[in-house]
Amino acid sequence: MLNRLARRRDPGIRGHEAAAGWLFLAPVIVILGLFLVLPIAMAVWVSFSDWNGNGSPLGAHAHFVGLDNYRHLLTQPGLDQNNFGTSLRNNVYYVLLVVPIQTAFSLFLAVIVNRRIRFVGFFRTAFYFPSVTSSVAITILFLFLFSPTGVINKLLSYLGATGPSWLYDPRGLFHVIAGQFGVDQPSASLQSHIFLGVSYWDWLSGPSIAMCVFILLAVFTTSGTFMLLFLAALQNIDDSVNEAAALDGATEWRKFRFITAPMIGPTIFTVVTLGLIGTWQVFDQIYVGTKGSPSNTTLTPAFLSFNSSFNSNNWGVGAAIAFILFAIIVFFTVVTRLATRSPDHVPRRRRFGPTQPLGTPDASRVASAGPGSAP
């Protein structure tokens, strides 16, 4: 009110405000425009061109080739399509395993560290620590743990088992399991039907043993972050509800099922969405760990996009992969959104609640529940 009066009396301030507003925003807008918006436009052009890395993609070296690059990836049999199909297969299994496991595991961690127990701060810290370390350092650590003569196989040998060679093992997990049941030859129809350059039999391979290491790595490094998200949601649940349920004789499981689970719906949505977005972008770990080997079974679209451009100088194809990957990520985000928007979904209520910025009393409640505050 006061503000409005002041402005009416002195229009100059409003003029100042507009100028200052744009001035304050200018660096952000210039940098985002220069390194996000314009480059994307440039990359769209490259994905329709035959540019091979020489000179500028905007100069005489690049020629318009229409949808050729996309065709090479999606409809035209050949090496490009084969690699792309393989990378999709690998990444699909990675997503299918990592997202549910990390969501369930981080929720489990949050529930057990949400109790009033001793040393709870220590446990929260321990579970969160892998999330702050660099992907390079963690990947190297996992290369060592899972090396053929490494820690994991040593542990397995104490149990009398012989571990696989992990990152050198291209066998698909489902193929290995099928093999245990005597199915080690694909039927002719599985072998002859091909989608995106990959036979149905290979689509059904499951993640390779090598990819399983990256799946464990992802769960190890992301569970802590998501645990914190769940923890914040759990601490928003009023204790009196749980106490009332306990008085009514509800068991732990029933309390979780009928009170906790519905209340943390929006957080589950957030975690699944962030999980999907993250898992479709695996790059660092592959770059440091395997570069796609063995037999391309850890190749991911993100790494393939990079490799096609920077190493094979096939920039059009690399850019096209990036945009297809973008479409995939947008698709899954939208689908998750729609799937969780059913009318009887409790979470909606909280979605429309007031936002809770950092530093407000609510956020500091989360802070005081941090690891330092162990009783």
Partner 1 sequence: MNDATAVRRRQLRTAISYSILVAIAVVFIFPFVIAVATAFKTEPNATADPLNLVPSPFTTEAFSQLYKDQDFLLWVQNSAIVTLSVTFLRVFLDSLAGYALARLRFRGRGAAFATIVAVMAVPGVVLLIPKFLMIRQLGIYNTYYGMIIPLLVDAAGVFIMKNFFESIPVSVEESARIDGANIFQIYWLIVLPMARPALVTLFILSFQGSWNELAHFIVSAQSTSLNTLTKGVAQLASGQLGSGNRYPLKLAASVLMTIPVAVLFFFFQRRIMNASSGAVKE
Q: Which of residues 257-276 bind partner 1 (CB under 8 A)?
A: 270, 274
Residue choice 96, 123, 194, 199 for contact with partner 1 (CB under 8 A): 123
Single out the segment in contact with partner 1 by CB under 8 A; choices: 89-97, 117-125, 182-190, 191-199.
117-125
Binding mask 318-337 for partner 1 (x = CB under 8 A): xx--xx-xx--x---x----
Dihedral of CA 205/206/209/211: which sign? Answer: positive
| Distance in Å, CB of 13 to partner 1, minimum | 8
Binding to partner 1 by residue 302, rule CB under 8 A?
yes
Angle at 15 between CA 9 and CA 16, to 5 degrees: 105
If you write DSSP's letter for every residue of 173-216 in order, what string do you get? HHHHHHHHTT--S--HHHHH-EETTEEHHHHTT-SBHHHHHHHH
Binding to partner 1 by residue 88, rule CB under 8 A?
no
Measure the CA–CA gap between 248 and 245, rounded to whole angstroms.
5
Measure the CA–CA gap between 284 and 264, rounded to whole angstroms.
31
Residue 200 tokens read as 């149905």
- Closer to partner 1 at the Cβ: 104 or 204? 104
H or E segment at 276?
Answer: helix 265-279
Binding mask 160-189 for partner 1 (x = CB under 8 A): ------------------------------
Residue choice 11, 24, 188, 342 for contact with partner 1 (CB under 8 A): 24
- Closer to partner 1 at the Cβ: 129 or 195? 129
- Closer to partner 1 at the Cβ: 121 or 186? 121
Measure the CA–CA gap between 153 and 166, rounded to whole angstroms.
9
| Distance in Å, CB of 152 to partner 1, minimum | 9
Angle at 16 between CA 14 and CA 21, to 5 degrees: 95
Q: Which residues 189-228 are close enough to bind partner 1 by CB under 8 A?
A: 220, 225, 228
